[in-house]
Amino acid sequence: MKARIITAIPVFNGEPFILQTLASVARQTLRPDRVVVLDNCSTDRTEEIVKNFTGIKCEFIRNEKNLGLFGNLNRCLELAPETEFLHLLHADDLVKPEFYAVMTESLAGGDGFGLGWCLDERIDEHDQHLSYSGRATGKVEKLARDAFLKWKAELGNQAFCATLLKTAGQPVPIRFREDMPIMGDTIFWAAFGAQCEKIIHVCRPLGCYRWHGANETTFRAPTIKPLVLDEWLTMETNETLRARPPGVLRRLKLKGLFAVRSGIKAKRVRQNGNSPYAGEIARAARGITGWPLWLAGKFLVATRDFYLFTIRRRPRHAKNIYG
């Protein structure tokens, strides 16, 4: 008998937060039928914590070797034929009690693939609130496939903890790209969405995405390819899924967004004391955007920062070079 909901938790050395993650799943008003922890050869107490957790039954599977983050996520996808809904939940993130109840109800109907995501609350390693990923209106928005792909080409935010896949008991034909260690998920969401008959966005913060010093993106950030060049490649790749060539104005918009995103990274890296690397980021981005869009992007970044962090006094995690 197929499960209705499977929560798959890829983990490597998850001791600091996995207990909180499991507890958040156990508190669900609609519990998953299975919780499967796929361990990437952890060397800490991850296995002990999972096997001793009594809040909800957990299956612990240890990989024979470390597959890398996206390799382990691809192993999680092997569970797709065994369930109607599959949730890929990182071992440092949380879900709020109504996540599964709200998301499965919103994605109900139809026999094909579906994709739903909600807003996420950004928290730090001490569970302190940082920000929300959008405005919480409570609405459930149904997106046309092209509108979703357009948004993904613009790198619209979509956290793992906030995303639910409706697999309808079918194998997933898409895999996470393992050669793009930061942007592999963004390309996956778009490619999966291109296969979906239903795509929904719930404007409620039902997931918690945690920023801390050991985030995977923090490890990958020191090299230009995953941090900058892969981002532009992702924008171009997701745009091609729309099956319509972008016009001049569309390409200018994408390059403008890329200039702003790269400008934020360069500024954050400089604020963290690494001016040479900030200059390297700027040069790589300018090679794609050109000087006019790069300068316009820098102006928008300065204006945005003044509004958010000076006027609004929004807290910012020092390790987050993306926001």
- Number of compact structural domains in the chain: 2
Report whether 317 contacts 210 (CB < 8 A).
Answer: no
The number of residues making up the chain comes to 323
Angle at 1 between CA 23 and CA 34, to 5 degrees: 10
The answer to whether 149 and 193 have CB atoms below 8 angstroms apart is: yes
Give the pLDDT of residue 304. 80
Residues 29 and 73 in one domain: yes
Nearest to 68 by CA among 194, 181, 187: 181
- Convert the pLDDT of each residue in 90-139 to its tens digit: 999 999 999 999 999 999 988 899 999 999 999 999 999 999 999 999 99
Output the pLDDT for position 219. 45
Assess if residue 65 is contained within a domain: yes
Residue 316 inside a domain? The answer is no
Q: Directed axis angle between helix 275-289 and helix 248-271, to 10°?
A: 180
End residue of a domain, out of 210, 225, 260:
210
Q: End of a domain among 179, 210, 241?
A: 210
Q: Assess whether 204 and 295 both reside in one domain.
A: no
Please identify every stretch of the chain with a pLDDT value under 50, giving residue numbers as ranges: 219
Same domain, 204 and 303: no
What is the reported pLDDT for 40? 98
Domain boundary among 158, 182, 210: 210
DSSP state of 226: I
CATH for 67: 3.90.550.10
Does 113 share its domain with 221?
no
Q: Which domain holds residue 249?
A: 216-311
Q: What is the pLDDT of residue 214?
A: 61
DSSP state of 314: -
